[in-house]
Chains A and B, each alone.
Chain A
């Protein structure tokens, strides 16, 4: 187990993602035993005790699906030669989600705080050092000052990245959105009134020739409908929407009221 535990720690220290597959139950005739396991990282088995080659291939495949869903799950996997099945638990070790807050104004401050509580790695971008600084964002993981669209261009964006565009005006939001609209980010949200957003999307369609389905991925107006009034409440509404996108809920009151 020593190497396995070391690899598990390494994945977490490096902010990487992986899947630990463990056989929980298998038919005795199958030649596979409960407790056999395999750690998968970047689509490849890294360390483990599962030797059955085709079974291992099936597990690597399933691990890919689990990681995409970011959900640990018990799955019945076929044992190709034995003609039976095995119950395999896939434990997903997701990369920590990263939130990029573009625009360091009055909503960004509570937004960064709420995101830290929710265990996001938080990056704050703005072109004004008076706004993007340690005094205002004491617990942000990274604060960057510079042209926001250019900063976004040089930032690594993965499927576990969430981006919130809350700059001081559409003049700034639009070039930023253009920079990230084709990125693999899990979430792109942009602040603004319905009317201004509509105008922005029209321009994207007509002048930039960006397809409708691409534009549709943007959450704008941003946030869940909580009839918010304060910047803090808007921050909660935005993070609630991000949790919803991440976990796949419906965002209704569970009581049905």
Chain B
């Protein structure tokens, strides 16, 4: 392909990995994860309903629910969920800080369900 002056990705590429492939790896190692899912939104939010973020007990993050302050709050709550093993719904208010430079400030509200996943 290089000789024709154009550039392409590999035709097939590797099989697409989803977040669940990564979740499996962690669970296989016996870790408990917190799975955070946006279940409803109001107004403008950085990610759509169904977007997921997985948090490990050490605070490692897979996937995103939009980044910024909201995500940091959810990460904190997620670590708590891993500790207590009790699911909970967290309301993330992106209205707070409208003057902030953070791209995550969209002005909306999202409800995030966080639950512990173990093997």
B-contacting residues of A (Cβ < 8 Å)?
A: 1-2, 5-6, 8-9, 12-13, 22, 24-25, 34-35, 71-74, 89, 91-92, 134, 138-139
Q: Do residues B9 and A139 form an inter-chain contact, with CB atoms below 8 A?
A: yes
Residues in A with CB closer than 8 Å to B9 are 139
Q: Do residues A35 and B18 form an inter-chain contact, with CB atoms below 8 A?
A: no
Residues in B with CB closer than 8 Å to A71 are 49
Could you tell me the distance between the alpha carbons of A34 and B1 in the complex, rounded to whole angstroms? 53
Once A9-B20, A34-B87, A74-B39 are accepted as A-B contacts, the answer to whether A92 and B50 lie under 8 Å apart by CB is yes
Q: Do residues A139 and B87 form an inter-chain contact, with CB atoms below 8 A?
A: no
* Number of B interface residues in the complex (CB < 8 A): 27
Interface assignment of B64: CB less than 8 Å from any CB of chain A: no
Residues in A with CB closer than 8 Å to B37 are 22, 89, 91
Could you tell me the distance between the alpha carbons of A22 and B89 in the complex, rounded to whole angstroms? 12
Q: Do residues A134 and B119 form an inter-chain contact, with CB atoms below 8 A?
A: no
Interface assignment of B27: CB less than 8 Å from any CB of chain A: yes
Residues in B with CB closer than 8 Å to A22 are 37, 113, 115
Would you list the 3 A-B pairs with minimal beta carbon distance, nearest first?
A72-B50, A35-B87, A89-B39
Once A35-B115, A139-B11 are accepted as A-B contacts, the answer to whether A74 and B40 lie under 8 Å apart by CB is yes
Residues in B with CB closer than 8 Å to A138 are 1, 8, 11
Q: Contact partner of B49 among A9, A25, A35, A72, CB < 8 A?
A: A72
Closest to B49 in A: A72
Closest to A6 in B: B24
Could you tell me the distance between the alpha carbons of A67 and B78 in the complex, rounded to whole angstroms? 28
Once A1-B27, A35-B115 are accepted as A-B contacts, the answer to whether A24 and B89 lie under 8 Å apart by CB is yes
Q: Contact partner of B39 among A2, A5, A24, CB < 8 A?
A: A24
Residues in A with CB closer than 8 Å to B20 are 5, 8-9, 12
Q: Do residues A9 and B89 form an inter-chain contact, with CB atoms below 8 A?
A: no
Interface assignment of B23: CB less than 8 Å from any CB of chain A: yes
Task: Annotate B38-71 by CB proximity to A: 1 below 8 A, 0 otherwise.
Answer: 0110000000011000000000000000000000
Once A9-B18, A72-B49, A91-B50 are accepted as A-B contacts, the answer to whether A2 and B27 lie under 8 Å apart by CB is yes
Could you tell me the distance between the alpha carbons of A9 and B18 in the complex, rounded to whole angstroms? 8
Task: Annotate B1-44 by CB proximity to A: 1 below 8 A, 0 otherwise.
Answer: 10000001101000110101101100100000000010110000
B 74-119 contacts with A by CB, 8 A: 87-89, 111, 113, 115-119
Could you tell me the distance between the alpha carbons of A91 and B40 in the complex, rounded to whole angstroms? 11
Residues in A with CB closer than 8 Å to B1 are 138
Q: How far is the CB of A12 from chain B (nearest CB, A)?
A: 5
Could you tell me the distance between the alpha carbons of A138 and B1 in the complex, rounded to whole angstroms? 9
Q: Do residues A1 and B119 form an inter-chain contact, with CB atoms below 8 A?
A: yes
Q: Do residues B113 and A24 form an inter-chain contact, with CB atoms below 8 A?
A: yes
Could you tell me the distance between the alpha carbons of A188 and B60 in the complex, rounded to whole angstroms? 44
Q: Do residues A25 and B89 form an inter-chain contact, with CB atoms below 8 A?
A: yes
Q: Do residues B11 and A134 form an inter-chain contact, with CB atoms below 8 A?
A: yes
Could you tell me the distance between the alpha carbons of A143 and B119 in the complex, rounded to whole angstroms? 42
Residues in B with CB closer than 8 Å to A13 are 15
A–B complex contacts, Cβ < 8 Å, 22 sampled? A1-B117, A2-B24, A5-B23, A8-B20, A9-B18, A9-B20, A9-B24, A12-B18, A22-B113, A24-B39, A25-B89, A34-B88, A72-B49, A72-B50, A74-B39, A74-B40, A74-B49, A74-B111, A89-B37, A91-B37, A92-B50, A138-B8
